[in-house]
């Protein structure tokens, strides 16, 4: 996939209109094209329930969605990316905002810092592959005053890159806030960042189908290197391959806030004590036992989205019935369930289980594999947590498949 195509995150029409707007600004050397843009093309922006604006994405699988939940774009930033953090504002804070988009997540972080800090400093590194998407952050009305600070940082960088021409943002960035803007592939950015730097990483790509490279195991290994021991990664997704990748990269995982969706997102940290809530039990089982829990892989941090998706599809196919239980009909979640009310489904499930040396959903082998789920609790701690249970079930499945276990 070319850089031009991967940078087209927002709707193609508005992507081209934004580029044209800033091209006119450069040619005319006047501010009319930028100042009039929102009013002229307001129908391309989506008003969310809290009064902040979002933008439609490019079409994916014949479907167009907004970049933010309709419940509220700026509210989503506070709920999903700020509230889960456990910042100690008596100390300096560093945040990495990946797929910074319109700048809402960074703006929410700045607002929270200004409200709660004393004599500390804030560093925000914003990463976005698309100049046009960043530019949209200049064009939308600011949902909170702190967005004007973010706008100033974005404008300065777009001027430096010769994309924008005029300095129209009048807000001054406070002396104790350092904002760095990177317009590039986040995979390049993270490889150049120092170890043990960040208190928080906001991971906000549009979707794993559009950008699996930003959810890969290797990308998360870079996160593990650059995050502090008590740092937290926050992302909106509840995807099994994403959660599996965090675990394989050495993170503990927990349930993120539910806002604008039916399911909570994902939090990850090197320290399990930074995470309060377990994943739902069935999510743990599917990640541990099913081929759906195979992560995206990008060994050299340079593969295309299509390549990564294709490779994972092949790996899932090869793992099914060999090292993983088939994900068909969500087979693993029925372990321990007599399934007395649906004989047809039970037959399908047990056909999948038999291929992994599990005679039935209620066989001793089935109960052996999910034994750790007896300790499940919504609140998790250092010893009893989602990651520990997932790793335990993975080991037990391997032993059952290889016949290398003792039932007790």
Neighbours of 266 (CB within 10 A): 25
pLDDT for res 2: 36
Sign of CA dihedral 263, 267, 271, 276: negative
Contact 19, 132 (CB under 8 A): yes
Contact 70, 62 (CB under 8 A): no
Instruction: In whole angstroms, give the CA distance from residue 88 to residue 192.
Output: 26
3-state secondary structure string across the chain: CCHHHHCCCECHHHHHHHHHHHHHHHHHCCCHHHHCHHHHCHHHEEECCCCCEEEEECCECCECCECCCCCCHHHHHHHHHHCCCCCCCCCCEEEEEECCCCCHHHHHHHHHHHHHCCCCCEEEEEECCCHHHHHHHHHCCCCCCCHHHHHHHHHHHHHHCCCCCCCCCCCCCCCCEEEEEECCCHHHHHHCCCCCCEEEEEECCCCCCCCHHHHCHHHHHHHHHHEEEEEEEEECCCCHHHHHHHHHCCCEEEECCCCCCCCCCEEEECCHHHCCECCCHHHHHHHHHEHHHCCCCCCCCCCCHHHHHHHHHHHHHHHECCCEECCHHHHHHHCCCCCCCCHHHHHHHHHHHHCCCCCCCCCHHHHHHCHHHHHCCCECCCCCCHHHHHHHHHHHHHHHHHCCCCCC
pLDDT for res 4: 41
> For residue 397, which phi and psi values (nearest 5 degrees)?
-60, -40
pLDDT for res 408: 62
Q: Which residues of the chain are modeled with pLDDT < 50?
A: 1-5
Give the closest residue to 179 by CA, choosing from 110, 99, 76, 87.
110
Sign of CA dihedral 377, 381, 383, 388: positive
Six token digits for residue 348: 């399908």
Neighbours of 311 (CB within 10 A): 16
Contact 238, 210 (CB under 8 A): no
Six token digits for residue 399: 């032993």
Instruction: In whole angstroms, give the CA distance from residue 216 to residue 220.
Output: 6
pLDDT for res 404: 86
List 201's β-bridge partners, or say none: 96, 233
Six token digits for residue 313: 């599809």
């Amino acid at each position: 996939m070319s850089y031009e195509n991967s940078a087209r995150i927002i709707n193609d029409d508005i992507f081209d209109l934004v580029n044209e707007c800033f091209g006119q600004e450069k040619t005319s050397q006047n501010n009319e094209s930028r100042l009039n843009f929102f009013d002229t093309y307001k129908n391309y922006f989506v008003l969310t329930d809290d009064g902040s604006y979002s933008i439609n994405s490019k079409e994916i699988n014949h479907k167009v969605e907004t970049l933010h939940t309709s419940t509220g774009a700026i509210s989503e930033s506070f709920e999903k990316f700020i509230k889960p953090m456990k910042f100690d504002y008596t100390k300096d804070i560093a945040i990495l905002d990946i797929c910074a988009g319109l700048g809402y997540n960074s703006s929410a972080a700045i607002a929270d810092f200004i409200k709660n800090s004393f004599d500390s400093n804030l560093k925000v590194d914003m990463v976005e592959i698309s100049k046009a998407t960043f530019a949209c952050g200049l064009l939308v009305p600011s949902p909170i005053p702190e967005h004007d600070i973010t706008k100033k940082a974005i404008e300065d960088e777009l001027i430096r890159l010769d994309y924008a021409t005029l300095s129209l943002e009048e807000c001054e960035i406070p002396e104790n806030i350092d904002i760095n803007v990177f317009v590039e592939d986040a995979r390049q950015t993270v490889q150049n960042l120092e170890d043990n730097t960040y208190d928080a990483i906001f991971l906000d790509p549009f979707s794993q189908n559009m950008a699996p490279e930003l959810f890969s195991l290797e990308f998360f290994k870079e996160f593990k290197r650059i995050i502090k021991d008590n740092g937290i990664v926050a992302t909106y997704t509840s995807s099994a391959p994403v959660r599996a990748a965090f675990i394989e990269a050495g993170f503990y995982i927990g349930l993120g806030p539910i806002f604008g969706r039916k399911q909570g997102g994902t939090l990850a940290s090197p320290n399990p004590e930074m995470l309060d809530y377990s994943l739902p039990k069935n999510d743990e089982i599917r990640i541990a036992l099913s081929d759906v829990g195979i992560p995206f892989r990008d060994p050299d941090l340079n593969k295309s989205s299509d390549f990564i998706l294709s490779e994972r599809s092949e790996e899932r196919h090869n793992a099914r019935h060999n090292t993983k239980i088939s994900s068909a009909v969500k087979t693993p979640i029925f372990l321990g369930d007599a399934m007395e009310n649906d004989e047809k489904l039970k037959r399908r499930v047990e056909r999948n289980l038999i291929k992994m040396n599990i005679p039935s959903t209620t066989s001793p082998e089935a109960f052996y594999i999910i034994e750790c789920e007896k300790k499940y609790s919504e609140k998790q701690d250092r010893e009893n947590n989602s990651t520990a249970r997932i790793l335990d079930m993975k080991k037990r499945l391997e032993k059952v498949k290889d016949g290398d276990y003792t039932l007790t």
